Amino acid sequence: MAKTLSSVTLVIPARYGSSRFPGKPLVKLAGKPMIQHVYECARACRSVNDVLVATDDDRIKQAVEQFGGRVVMMGGEYRTGTDRVAAVARMFAGECFVDLQGDEIPLNAELLSDLIDPFLQSGAEMGTLKRKMDVTDDLHNPAIVKVATDANGHALYFSRAPIPLVRDDPSRRVVSGLHYIHLGVYIYTKETLLRFAGMKTGVLEDAEKLEQLRALENGIRVRVWETPYASLRIDAPEDVPEAEEKLRQYESLKQELNLKRTAPSR
């Protein structure tokens, strides 16, 4: 019987020097830096014991401290965000660690619970999330990572390419229930996270620039759970206006729902 885990530390790796979007964690969305939106959602998740930002830049450190967040400075070079999270895991106690990318804004804390809660009961070494693609999603956009899983929910492959390819559909469009977006959030047991960080960069990982492929190449089974909740992903400056509009719409909807809940019944 699998051991039930309980201690969950969520780490948000946040670099300033992104090649495509320098300073991305500090871009303002609806009046707040992006890193604050990510942090606040993580803190709202009932399944998380501790949240901290891991950064290499004093500007990000100051921004996090200004909104009352917990932050740790991580010097040195790291291949990926997960490698930075592993460095944090060496510094802090904890049974398992969540890696929430600093440019993936969950619009509901339940998105994180959809990953953490089943993982703690599963006995899995590593887990992540998927969400059904909408017919309006661009299946061919390499910035949208896709995932295919087996009948038991384990990842078969992650790719920037449109997988699976429906050979007999010349339109090459999204098929509901067949195509899934992979979300940039991972959970590991501490032992698996440290083992992962000690592995060499894989051939597939290097080709696709997807760190999770390192796990598949080295025989680590990645359990994938599905969530219905939306998130906002920002890859480049041109993504900001649309993301900000979606965030404002979500905040307005949330306020409306809260008002309905608190309104006196007649």
Topology of domain 8-262, CATH? Spore Coat Polysaccharide Biosynthesis Protein SpsA; Chain A (3.90.550)
Average the pLDDT over 235-259 and give the result: 80
Q: How confident is the model at residue 133 (pLDDT cuts 50, 70, 90)?
A: very high
- Specify the length of the chain in residues: 266
Q: How confident is the model at residue 5 (pLDDT cuts 50, 70, 90)?
A: low
- Residue 83 CA neighbour count, 13 Å, CB half: 15
Q: How confident is the model at residue 16 (pLDDT cuts 50, 70, 90)?
A: confident
Whether the pLDDT of residue 20 is over 70: the answer is yes
CA–CA distance, 210 with 216 (Å, rounded to integer): 11
**156 contact partners, CB below 8 Å, separation of at least 6:** 148, 149, 150
Tokens of 260: 């309905």
Mean pLDDT is lowest, of 23-37, 39-53, 105-119, 243-257, for: 243-257
Average the pLDDT over 76-85 and give the result: 89
Q: How confident is the model at residue 77 (pLDDT cuts 50, 70, 90)?
A: confident
Q: What are the tens digits of pLDDT across the range 38-74?
A: 999 999 999 999 999 999 899 999 999 999 999 999 8
Q: How confident is the model at residue 242 (pLDDT cuts 50, 70, 90)?
A: confident
Strands of the chain (E only): list them.
8-14, 28-29, 32-33, 50-55, 71-73, 96-100, 104-106, 126-132, 146-149, 155-159, 180-189, 222-226, 231-233
The pLDDT, as a whole number, for residue 88 is 95
Percent of the chain exceeding pLDDT 90 equals 68
Q: How confident is the model at residue 263 (pLDDT cuts 50, 70, 90)?
A: low
- Could you tell me the pTM of the whole model? 0.90
Q: What are the distances in angstroms from CA 34 to CA 25, 48, 68, 101, 166?
A: 5, 20, 15, 11, 36
Q: What are the tens digits of pLDDT across the range 134-187?
A: 988 899 999 899 999 999 999 999 999 999 999 999 888 999 899 999 998 999
Helix count (H) and strand count (E) of the chain? 8, 13
Whether the pLDDT of residue 8 is over 80: the answer is yes
